[in-house]
Structure formats: C-alpha cells, structure tokens
Amino acid sequence: MSNLADQFKNRKAFIPFVVADDPDFDTTVANIVALANGGADIVELGIPFSDPVADGPVIQKADLRAFDAGVTTEKVFEIVAAARKLTSVPIVFLTYLNIPFKYGYERFLNRCVELNISGLVIPDLPFESKDEIDRYAKPLGIDIISLITPTSKDRVEMIAKEASGFIYVVSSEGITGERDEFYNDLKALIARIRAVTDVPLAIGFGVHTPEQAKSMADIADGVIIGSAIVEVVGQNGKDAPKAVEQFVREIRQGVDAEVSKAI
C-alpha cells in the first residue's frame, strides 16, 4: 500500500492541486515545492487532457496554457523528477484514463513507482472498470483513488468498501470550480461512507476559502482545493510560487483551526 492514509493520522490533511506545466516546467516545479512548504500533506498534480470532463473553466484554461508550453506525459514525469530533488511530499496524479492507457498501464505505473507517486485520481474511470488499471497498480503499492459523489446513490457502500489510500468525496454535483453552496446532505453521505470503511475521506470540488476548508475539515479527514489555487497560478504566471505558498498557508490555518477547536 502507499503512504497516503498515513498523511491523515496526525492532523486533518490538506491536498492542494496544480496543473503540470502551467505555465511552464520550472514554475510547476517551484509550485509543487511551494505547496509543500505552505503546508500540503499531499499534492495533487493534474496531467493536462484535451477533454477534461470533470473540470470547469479555470482548470480547462490551465490545461490550455500547459498545451501551449508543450506539455507531454513524459514531460510531466520529468517535472516530478525535478521536484523530487527538492521535496518528498506525497504526490498523486489527477489523470484521465486515456493518458495511462495510451502510455501503457504497466509502463506508466512503473514510472510512478520510480518517482514515488502514491496514487492516481481518475475522474472518468467507472468503479466497475477500476480493475482495468488497479490490477497493475495494487501490486506496486499505488492507490487508485475512489471518487464518491452525490449521484453515487446506491453505489456508495460498494465503492467505499473497495477503496484504498483515501476517498475523494465530491462536494457537489457538476464540474470543478469555486462555489459557495454545497450538497445539502454531505454529512449524511459522509456517515454512509464511514459506516463501511476506515479509509480517510477528503472533500473536494468548490472549496476555496479558509472558512470553507475549516467547515469541510469538521466533517471529513481532509480537504482538497484545486480551482482556487489554479486561479492563483493563472493570475501570477511565472511569479506564482510565492503567491501559491501564501494562499496555501492561509488554507492550512483554516484546516488546522478545526483541529484546535476539537482539542
């Protein structure tokens, strides 16, 4: 198994997201380090894709910036290799299934092992097809992260029982992007998941303020923030790392405020 579940043991986990090669190679490496220095427990690194069905406009634009920079799957691996010289923070890839499929599942996952990639989040991989890649990933200790959404309905328990690493709980219906309202029955969904598994739960999609992070950390084991950080990168370009680290520190304080309250 990977080291992902361990990141939730001593505090509520914060999992920030950036897109690889947005706006370029060196800035992405610096952004990964900035995320780690700012308090990330796990970094989620997006591999740009031409049809990111789960992603909203902010991440779509970041993917386009990465394409303009000449991103390739191999270049993403090279970015991680460069980052690994500077930080050992656990990293998971956000990737659509066609990318590892085209690269070759075994070849892709072996590269992940070489670079200490702990898991993959694959939004367009149905649970029923998970074994297509999981049978290669599991023996290597790489977690295929399960997603549970408000539309999972009677499949929630089935997905949760088979999960490993952590479970990505989607806060709302629809695509990624900042929002002020979330699924009304999120607490009930969390309770259903907890009834059948001890795997940590991290809530993502739409969270973008320290106050929201605190609220989500109150009912889950971790918080995932993507679009808000990608927007910081988009606004600051090559100067993004400093702004990214500051933003992450603010979110970290929000997440930790819940812990302080609970003690």
pLDDT higher than threshold 90 for residue 248: yes
Average pLDDT over residues 132-145: 97
- Per-residue model confidence as pLDDT tens digits over 158-217: 999 999 999 999 986 544 544 445 556 889 899 999 999 999 999 988 787 888 889 889
The predicted structure's pLDDT at residue 1: 53
Q: Which amino acid is at 151?
A: T
CATH number of 12-262: 3.20.20.70
Percent of the chain with pLDDT over 90: 76
The predicted structure's pLDDT at residue 185: 80
**Catalytic annotation, pick one of 24, 55, 231, 256:** 55
The predicted structure's pLDDT at residue 109: 98
The predicted structure's pLDDT at residue 263: 34
44 given a catalytic annotation: yes
Tell me how far CA of residue 160 lies from CA of 153, 157, 195, in angstroms. 12, 5, 9
Residue 128: both structure tokens together = 């029923």
pLDDT higher than threshold 70 for residue 255: yes
The 3 state secondary structure assigned to 83-131 is: HHCCCCCCEEEECCCHHHHHHCHHHHHHHHHHCCEEEEECCCCCHHHCH
The predicted structure's pLDDT at residue 184: 63
> Residue 86 region, left (φ>0) first, then alpha (ψ -120 to 50), else beta?
alpha
**Catalytic annotation, pick one of 22, 24, 44, 143:** 44
Given a contact cutoff of 8 angstroms between Cβ atoms, the answer to whether 227 and 56 are in contact is: yes
Residue spans of the domains in the chain: they are 12-262
pLDDT higher than threshold 90 for residue 258: no
99 pLDDT band (50/70/90 cuts)? Answer: very high
pTM of the model: 0.92
